[in-house]
Amino acid sequence: MAQFPQGLRQIESRCNAGERRVLDQLRQCLDDQHLVWHDLPVGETARQPDFIVLGPGLGLLLLEVKDWKLATIRQATPDRVELATASGPVMTAHPLRQVRDHAMALADALQRDPALVHDEGPHRGRLALRYGWGAVMSNLRRAEVAALPGFDAVFPPARTLLRDDLDDSVDPEAFVQRLSGLFTVDMAQRLTPAQRERIRWHLFPELRLGAPAPVPPAQDKAERPDPRPDEVPDLLQVMDLQQEQVARTLGEGHRVIHGVAGSGKTMILVHRARLLAHEAEPARPVLVLCYNRALADRIEALIAPDEALRPRLQVRTFHGWCAELARRHRIAVPPAPEGQDDTDAPARLARAVIAAADAGRVPLGGHHAVLIDEAHDFEDGWLRLAAAMSDPAARRLLVLYDDAQSIYQRLRQRFSFASVGIQARGRTSVLRLNYRNTAEVLGLALRFARGLLPERGRDREAGRGDEDGVAGVAPSSSGRRGPRPVLIRARSEHEEAELLAARIADAVAAGTAAGEIAVLCRTRAQMAPIAEALARRGLPLQSMGSTGFQHFDWSQAGIRLVTLHSAKGLEFAHVHVAGLQRLPWRDETLEDAVRLVYVAMTRATQSLVLSCCGSSPVVERLQAALQEQGLEPALQ
């Protein structure tokens, strides 16, 4: 059976009678190598054919379905059709002209991608895939139209499917051959998996990481420029089929996604938040919550690059949101006990707001939807308060969770989502495949964190031991390869900073964009010598350790210096983790430190450099993992 990334039941609920007949025939006659989408905006122009079919041998096919009866069609030309309706004659576009325009615009965009065209021979520069289009007149039979003068001239049989083609008695192979007749060219070359992913990137901009907000059906679909070929990303920058299916099938009600680091959880949240923001009203905006400020800023930049969405969308850290509630509802936050510093101020703020909500002083259910990223860093009371803020009628709540990345909260050994008001039984998804990291980076991270993560094939179920509990998910690599990670062992902090800065300067001189590079440190104070070394080389940077730092400006280029904790949820092509001799830090346990470094290592999409200027349990553990992986000896 064909695959339906939107979910078969969801498509069925949206189809009219004619479209449902087409859907049933596609489902029965196409095998699982074929992908089928229904009524989605396509490409940069956001046009919406009724069906899109993509198969390795078939190619790319667009179908427009009309459920017209013969008596409804008053007259027709190749461009226009006049219909008899209850309110009088209505002129509409001819379905073949309509779907042909869709197909040609899409083919033009695909032809600008060098990976999808012939690079040599007589067809050089032309698309290296079959594409076609057709109209389906799902309520007309051949016997009805056979004697109708001029029908075949306006609805050519080679391009028009009729009700007869949708009968259950039609042989599946015959139906596939009928679809093959809708193509303009015939070529033996099959689509490769990589080409299929690139086609999906062109078809659905909303699946791209960092893409503009998707255009909903009711929004104006004015022409937009096609992307340049050099803007087409690799596989990492587009959701895979499982991610797409999870993102598209998230419906009403509470939903939980368990996913390993780099599995695309935040991509799914961004996709979902964009769509929900289009539906929301400014008085009841979508609320997106996470723990750290850097991630909140990054999510906001990805979700709402245009001002139109901002009034309908709020992206906040949990404590920043609590501070807003405290100001709005005049909630008094108890001061620190006499003789103690103010380090527990965030905890006192959260407790005060939760107590006020429990007492009825904070209105609940005021948001169109609530989405929580990195929910494993939230305390139980925080999750309960956030869940209560979604519209009680629709109960739109999405929770993203990975117990392995919990660096703020102790692992929950006996926990159920139902205990904090999250009713997601039967609506959970698991993402196991890590797309962010290369096999080299993920392999080292898994060896380094061995004993803290579930083994492959043995996912851990904590708490209740069912889908209502916390799932420890073992990561699997997507198989992408890259350079080997490196450990630099310097003799002093100054030498470490100079070695890192020189390495980064060489990379920038060789063409690496400064914005693709990050240096991660345990504390802000550790950033000072590194920032100075980078600045002396004239490199642009943004550092959390700089005086008066508030947040990163993601619209500006520059090397980012980020604390290990603030790097959660972020990713960079080239990651440098510095100052490992300081770990474990103060009262941290070794397990805390290993978990923190594991999260830091898995921020890298291409290369990973680790550095220290001394020894520590973390450094020795890392050295052993490098040697076990068979990598070259660490640099001295």
**What per-residue confidence (pLDDT) applies to 219?**
40
Residue 281 falls inside a structural domain? yes
More confident residue, 215 or 253: 253
Residue that finishes a domain, picked among 146, 177, 203: 203
Cβ-Cβ contacts under 8 Å for 80 (sequence gap 6 or more): 91, 92, 93, 94
Of 166-180, 239-253, 304-318, 325-339, the range with the highest mean pLDDT is: 166-180
More confident residue, 260 or 470: 260
**What per-residue confidence (pLDDT) applies to 471?**
52
Tell me phi and psi for residue 519, to 5 degrees.
-120, 125
Tell me, yes or no, whether 128 and 37 share the same domain. yes
Integer Cα distance of 376 and 398 in angstroms: 13
Q: Give the ranges where 512-615 is alpha helix by DSSP (H).
A: 527-536, 590-601
Integer Cα distance of 597 and 592 in angstroms: 9
Residue 301 falls inside a structural domain? yes
**What per-residue confidence (pLDDT) applies to 468?**
58
User: For the chain, what is the mean pLDDT?
Assistant: 86
Residue 620 burial (10 A CB sphere; 0-12, 13-18, 19+): exposed
Is residue 430 pLDDT above 80, yes or no? Answer: yes
Distance (Å) of CA 208 to CA 9, 257, 265:
25, 19, 13
Least confident segment among 331-345, 386-400, 541-555 = 331-345
**What per-residue confidence (pLDDT) applies to 598?**
92
Tell me, yes or no, whether 199 and 245 share the same domain. no
Integer Cα distance of 50 and 41 in angstroms: 10
Residue 537 falls inside a structural domain? yes
Is residue 215 pLDDT above 50, yes or no? Answer: no
pLDDT category at 141 given cuts 50, 70, 90 is very high
Q: How many CA atoms lie within 13 A of 468 on its CB side?
A: 12
Tell me, yes or no, whether 192 and 245 share the same domain. no
| Best CA proximity match to 404, nearest among 259, 246, 255 | 259
**What per-residue confidence (pLDDT) applies to 220?**
38
**What per-residue confidence (pLDDT) applies to 237?**
63
Residue 182 falls inside a structural domain? yes
**What per-residue confidence (pLDDT) applies to 217?**
43
pLDDT category at 413 given cuts 50, 70, 90 is low
**What per-residue confidence (pLDDT) applies to 578?**
97
Work out how many domains the chain is built from and give that number: 3
**What per-residue confidence (pLDDT) applies to 230?**
41
pLDDT category at 227 given cuts 50, 70, 90 is very low
Q: How many CB atoms lie within 10 A of CB 232?
A: 18
* Residue 460 structure tokens: 């851990």
> What residues make up the domain containing 492?
486-629
Integer Cα distance of 349 and 330 in angstroms: 12
pLDDT category at 472 given cuts 50, 70, 90 is low
Tell me, yes or no, whether 420 and 496 share the same domain. no
Indicate the SS3 state at residue 449: coil
Q: Edge-to-edge strand order for the sheet containing 35-38?
A: 35-38, 51-55, 59-66, 131-137, 160-162
Q: How many CA atoms lie within 13 A of 625 on its CB side?
A: 27
Counting every residue written for the chain, the total comes to 636
**What per-residue confidence (pLDDT) applies to 452?**
76
More confident residue, 70 or 478: 70
Tell me, yes or no, whether 397 and 271 share the same domain. yes
Which letter does DSSP use for residue 526 in this model?
Answer: T
**What per-residue confidence (pLDDT) applies to 632?**
54
Residue 440 falls inside a structural domain? no
Q: What is the pLDDT of residues 177-202, one digit of tens each?
A: 999 999 977 665 788 888 898 899 89
Q: What is the pLDDT of residues 50-92, one digit of tens each?
A: 999 999 989 999 999 999 999 999 999 999 999 999 899 999 9
Pairing of strands 88-93, 80-85: antiparallel
Distance (Å) of CA 209 to CA 123, 232, 269, 592, 605:
32, 11, 11, 30, 13
Is residue 403 pLDDT above 80, yes or no? Answer: no
| Best CA proximity match to 27, nearest among 47, 6, 49, 42 | 6
**What per-residue confidence (pLDDT) applies to 412?**
53
Is residue 385 pLDDT above 50, yes or no? Answer: yes
Q: What percent of the chain has pLDDT over 90?
A: 57
**What per-residue confidence (pLDDT) applies to 209?**
56
CB-based contact 441:483 (threshold 8 Å): no
Residue 556 identity = Q
Longest dimension (CA), the chain: 97
Q: What is the pLDDT of residues 261-299, one digit of tens each?
A: 788 888 899 889 988 998 899 999 999 999 989 889 888
Is residue 498 pLDDT above 50, yes or no? Answer: yes
Residue that finishes a domain, picked among 384, 401, 431: 431
Residue that finishes a domain, picked among 181, 203, 225: 203
Tell me, yes or no, whether 401 and 282 share the same domain. yes
Mean pLDDT of 418-429: 87
Q: What is the pLDDT of residues 307-324, one digit of tens each?
A: 778 899 999 999 999 999
The CATH number that applies at residue 624 is 3.40.50.300
Q: What is the pLDDT of residues 559-585, one digit of tens each?
A: 999 999 999 888 999 999 999 999 999
CB-based contact 43:105 (threshold 8 Å): yes
pLDDT category at 213 given cuts 50, 70, 90 is very low
Outline where DSSP puts E strands in 544-603. 559-563, 572-577
Tell me phi and psi for residue 618, to 5 degrees.
-70, -45
Tell me, yes or no, whether 30 and 142 share the same domain. yes
Residue 601 falls inside a structural domain? yes
**What per-residue confidence (pLDDT) applies to 463?**
36
**What per-residue confidence (pLDDT) applies to 189?**
74
Tell me, yes or no, whether 392 and 278 share the same domain. yes
Least confident segment among 89-93, 435-439, 458-462, 528-532 = 458-462
Tell me, yes or no, whether 252 and 187 share the same domain. no
Outline where DSSP puts E strands in 374-492. 397-401, 428-431, 433-434, 460-461, 471-472, 476-477, 486-489
Indicate the SS3 state at residue 318: helix
More confident residue, 45 or 552: 552
Integer Cα distance of 26 and 166 in angstroms: 9
Tell me, yes or no, whether 371 and 288 share the same domain. yes
Give 196-262 as a DSSP string: HHHHHHHH-GGGBTTPPPPPPTTS-----PPPPGGG---GGGB--HHHHHHHHH--SSEEEEEE-TT
**What per-residue confidence (pLDDT) applies to 586?**
86
| Best CA proximity match to 233, nearest among 483, 516, 508 | 516
Residue 443 falls inside a structural domain? no
Least confident segment among 3-7, 326-330, 447-451 = 447-451
Is residue 554 pLDDT above 80, yes or no? Answer: yes
Is residue 166 pLDDT above 70, yes or no? Answer: yes
pLDDT category at 410 given cuts 50, 70, 90 is low
Tell me, yes or no, whether 137 and 30 share the same domain. yes
Residue 474 falls inside a structural domain? no
* CA dihedral over 393, 244, 400, 471, signed as positive or negative: positive
Cβ-Cβ contacts under 8 Å for 9 (sequence gap 6 or more): none
More confident residue, 385 or 425: 385
Q: How many CB atoms lie within 10 A of CB 111?
A: 17
Tell me, yes or no, whether 268 and 384 share the same domain. yes
**What per-residue confidence (pLDDT) applies to 123?**
76
